[in-house]
Amino acid sequence: METALNGPQDPVKTDPDGGDIFELRLYVAGQTPKSKAALENLKKICEEHLRGRYRLEVVDLARNPALARTDKILAIPTLVRSLPAPISRIIGDLSDEEQVLMGLNVRKVQ
């Protein structure tokens, strides 16, 4: 399952206001409870803190395990932020919003 959930479809890396576009890839293994929770939590965080400034691809390693080599995935679910640099990885169900925001290097909206 590879799905683009939000964000611009062109290769532009900044939004009209000059902010960075976040390129995110969530690696999951089928429809397990942890995979579903990670996707739900990530969608909520992105809509709240990155609305209109992110591109998300969901990669199901149950269907294509070879894709794990691309981003050196050792555990699932894993979120990989490829842009803005540097690359960062967050492992788990992404339920700790503060940790996810810190891992994405995003300041919490007050």
Domain boundaries of the chain, sorted by first residue: 3-104
pLDDT tens string 47-93: 999 999 999 999 999 998 888 887 789 999 999 999 999 999 999 99
How far apart, in whole angstroms, are the C-alpha atoms of residue 68 and residue 62?
10
Place of tokens 């691309």: 70
Token pair, residue 12, equals 């532009």
pLDDT tens string 32-44: 999 999 999 999 9
pLDDT at 13: 39
By C-alpha distance, which of 109, 108, 107, 104 is closest to 22? 104
Tell which CATH architecture fits domain 3-104.
Answer: 3-Layer(aba) Sandwich (3.40)
Q: Output 16 or 100, whichever has higher pLDDT.
A: 100
Written as one letter, the residue type at 97 is: E
How far apart, in whole angstroms, are the C-alpha atoms of residue 10 and residue 31?
29
pLDDT at 3 over 70: no
